[in-house]
Structures are given as C-alpha cells and as structure tokens.
Amino acid sequence: MVIVCAQVHRWVNYESMLKECLVGRMATKVPAALKAMIPPPPPTSLLPPVSVAPPPPDKDSRPRYDWFQTDVTVHLVVYAKRKLPSSGCTQVDLEAGVLRLEVLLGKMSYMIHLRLADEVEGNVSVHTSFSVGKIQVTIRKQTKGKWESLGQPLEFHNTFLRKKDRAPFYRECVLVSKTEVNHNTYVFRLQLPRGTVRHVPVGQHVYLKANIQDTEVVRAYTPVGQNLSVSSNNSSQDSDLYLMIKVYPDGVLTPHLNSLHIGDHLCVSGPEGTFSLRPLRDVTHLYLLAAGTGFTPMARLIQAALQDFESIRQTKLLFFNRREEDILWRCQLDELAANSERFQVEYVLSDPSESWTEKRGRVDESMLKDVLDRPDGSKCYACVCGPTAFTELTIGLLKQQGFSEEELHAFQG
C-alpha cells in the first residue's frame, strides 16, 4: 500500500507522515496551563518518608533543608551537599521556641533560624551522616498533633554566608568541674544549656566573655578532649566543653576564671577559626610544633590523626616549654607514644634542671633539621601554635626547610 502511494504521489513524504503516527516518550514537562490546575502538595505529612536521602547532586553547592513530622516529633533535615568532618560542624540552639541551627562548612556558614509553629520540649537530638553530608535534628512536640508549617522565619534564616560575616553567638554555660593539670593550668569543664548542641571542629576555638570592672573582656580558647585517649575522643560530645586554661596572676581574664565556683555561669561563643582537616587527606607525615598552651589545638588534632587518617603514618609533636613542670599532659603524651607506633613526642626546655636529659634550648634551624624527616614519596604537613614570636619564627624556619604555604598552618588567636 505504501509502495503504490509512493508511485502515485511521489511528492508526498510518507516517511514523515508515518513518523507523526509513532508513539514516543511521554513529555516530561507539564504545560503551564495544566500545571496551574494541579493543586500544590501539602507542606508535610504526619508520617516520615521511608528514607530521607540527599537530593541528587547539582551544580548548586548551597545547602538546603527539608522537614517532616509525626504526631509527637518534628524532624529538620539539612543536606550539606558534601562530606562532613567527623569532629562535627553543627551548632543547635533551642530557646523559648526559637530554633537556631548553624552548620559550619569550611569558611562558610549555613543557618536555619525559625520561631517554631508550636510549643516544644527543651531538648534536641542531632544525628549526622558524615559520608553523605546529612544532618537531622529531632525535637519533641509538647502537644500531639499536626503542624501546618515549621514556623516563622527570623533574621538570616536559610542563608549561606562566610563565617567571618556572622557575629559570634554566645550562650551561658555552667562550670561543672575544674581539674588541675599542673601548677598554673586547669581544665574547665563547661556544661552547655539545655537545648544547645555544639560541635566544635578540630582546631577551632571559642570565645569566653566576661564583664570585669564594667569592661567586656573577650578571649579565645581552643577546646580539648576530656583526655588524650583516642578511643574516648570527645569531639562528638554534645553537652560539654573542655577548655585547658593557664592562669596568669596579672592577666585580665584568667584570674576571674580562676575565681569562679562550681555552678557559676560563663558566656561561651560558637566555634571560630580557619583550620580545616581537608589538607590532611593524603598526608603521610604530620608535624606539630607547640609552645606552652599552644598545645591545646594539637590535643584533638593528635586524636583525629590517629583515629581518622590512616594515610598519616607518623604524627610527631615537638613540645616547647620553659621547665619540666610546665609540660601539659606529659603522662598522657608519653603513654600515647608508648602505645602507638604512629605517634612520637619530643620535649624541648629552655630553662631545664641539671637532670634534664632531653632537648634543650629554643627553636632553631638545626633543631628542625634534626627532628623533621621528609622521606622520598612522603607528603608532609606542619602545624604551629604558641606565642606570636614563636609562631612567626617557626613558620619562617619551616619554609627554609622546604615547606610550602600549602603545607603549613599557623594557629593564631
């Protein structure tokens, strides 16, 4: 039939005519007129979805959030669209029905800020899926029922900004214990208020704020774990902060801190700082050079290197102090070195006793040459923390040893 038609009507393109009769794929775009007739989906469901999975990757790296509910709980889910550090990056504050959730992503900060739609209980729980970049915050309702919305947006809600563009956010914490480390240094254990979860990323600090003689005084301190045990790494602990603080008799803030009693309150900010664990991913040799309380950022960094980075074959701490009694957590450092082939510590004293048999003096080129190995095929990284003069001198000496800017980090508060 087609052949006859082609012979009689050669000007007719029968292939095109038949092509129009083919049934092809269903169109994926809904016409605008039809789309307008389709009612929008309800804002949420009383039943949680079977699974809350992150959305497919797209070109937009901006995090997003979603929520679902049951009769008794509200679940807020943040999709960071990247892997999250195992030390945590989430700051949650729930107070008087206002939820403030901040996720720290490198130099950026994503914030959710809402007045919740109805009354809730004061506690929150946070579950983080680090490998897929998902954070789920769960809050219990005071009254059973369905919410029509999550709540009313407040200032900076659903914003993705540079961390430096956000002002520090303070909460009042309670001093619950004070443990002596040596003759002038203590570990202050601060309990966060109910409704607050604060994950401080490794190497970042918090600010303590106090009013002293009608003057607001602010100082930075880097949290440590409760101890150096890798198996009991406290980086994910939600309710407490541990701050190692040296008391200076003529200092502005530390005498006030030393005078606090158990149960007293202290204003503590959220995490600040530029340090990231990302450069350590392929590192084989990690060198930590600390002077005095410059040891504090190294404490959790040592734990992270041994627990989370199998590629790091050697972590070496070079610890500078004036006298032997000034060495912080020496017993724990020695025990860790004895139990781990991947960790070494060397002490350097500037004013040692005659019985001291280890390194003496101050940081210099010959000392670093003796301590720092750069085997063929290795990838090295060095971190430095201490008084400004020590940090600047050490960074300069490391550069002379061949370390590039990308292989160095100076902790500066």
Annotated binding site for FAD: 219, 221, 246, 296
Q: How far is CA 182 from its chain centroid?
A: 29
Instruction: Give 165: exposed, middle or buried? Use CB within 10 Å, 0-12, 13-18, 19+.
Output: exposed
Q: Which residue has the tokens 């600040």?
A: 272
Task: Report the distance separating Cα 328 and Cα 380, nearest Å.
Answer: 25
* CA-closest candidate to residue 291, choices 170, 412, 205, 399: 412
Q: What are φ and ψ of residue 339, in 5° steps? A: -100, -10
DSSP summary character for residue 56: P
Task: Report the distance separating Cα 371 and Cα 369, nearest Å.
Answer: 6
How many CB atoms within 10 Å of residue 411?
A: 23
201-226 burial, b for 16+ CB within 10 Å, e for fewer?
bbbbbbbbbbeeeeeeeebebbbbbe
Q: What is the H or E stretch that residue 296 is in? A: helix 296-308
Beta-carbon-side half-sphere exposure of residue 46 (alpha carbons within 13 Å): 5
Binding site residue list: 219, 221, 246, 296
DSSP summary character for residue 55: P
Please give the structure tokens belonging to residue 258.
């030393």
Q: What are φ and ψ of residue 377, in 5° steps? A: 80, 0
Task: Report whether 300 contacts 232 (CB < 8 A).
Answer: no
DSSP summary character for residue 203: T
Any bridge partners for residue 90, and if so which? 103
Task: Report whether 209 contacts 402 (CB < 8 A).
Answer: no
